[in-house]
């Protein structure tokens, strides 16, 4: 094992913020920076590699570059957005009450349209 990796494994997570940006980090230290457990990171490497910063494989070992982790974290920051004005539509089949309300609304709309028409236009429609 490379000497700098041994040193990194022995140091606390606080030391990671002063590490050279080009340093290769093993999964355990990368997981600490990303706020995930090492087992979750290993799972993501095989199942969802696009959801992680760029990593390198050397044989069976996987390493992350600290600079890539830092840029990944910076790119993942969420900008606080305005709350949506209309609620998201409910999924699934509407309830009987919702079906009845929708039917009543369509009947009311239909009668409103017919009120403005003459008898000849209503019979033709």
Residues 31-55 have a mean pLDDT of: 91
- Among 38-42, 74-78, 100-104, 114-118, where is mean pLDDT lowest? 114-118
Residue of 32, 40, 29, 35 lying closest to 6 (CA atoms): 29
Distance CA 99, CA 38 (A): 49
16 or 85: whose pLDDT is higher? 85
What does the domain layout of the chain look like in residue ranges?
Answer: 3-75, 94-125
Q: How confident is the model at residue 12 (pLDDT cuts 50, 70, 90)?
A: very low
116 or 48: whose pLDDT is higher? 48
Distance CA 23, CA 69 (A): 11
Which pair of structure tokens corresponds to residue 24?
């290769």
Percent of the chain predicted with pLDDT > 90: 29
pLDDT of 46: 92
Question: Over the stretch 68-110, which tens digit does the pLDDT of each residue have?
Answer: 998 998 888 876 666 667 777 778 898 999 999 999 998 888 7
Q: What is the DSSP string of 2-23?
A: -HHHHHHHHS-GGGGGGS-TT-
pLDDT of 122: 52
pLDDT of 87: 73
23 touches 6 (CB < 8 A): no
pTM exceeding the 0.85 threshold for the entire prediction: no
Calculate the average pLDDT of the chain. Answer: 78
As a CATH number, domain 3-75 is 1.10.1660
């Amino acid at each position: 094992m490379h000497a700098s990796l041994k040193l990194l494994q022995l140091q606390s997570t606080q030391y990671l913020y002063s590490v050279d940006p080009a340093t290769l980090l093993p999964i355990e230290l990368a997981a600490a920076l990303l706020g995930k457990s090492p087992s979750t990171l290993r799972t993501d490497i095989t199942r969802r590699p696009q959801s992680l910063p760029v990593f390198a494989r050397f044989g069976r070992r996987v390493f992350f570059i600290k600079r890539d982790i830092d840029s990944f974290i910076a790119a993942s920051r969420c900008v606080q957005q305005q709350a949506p004005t209309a609620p998201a539509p409910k999924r699934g089949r509407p309830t009987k009450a919702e079906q009845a309300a929708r039917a009543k609304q369509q009947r009311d709309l239909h009668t409103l349209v017919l009120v403005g028409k003459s008898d000849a236009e209503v019979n033709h429609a």
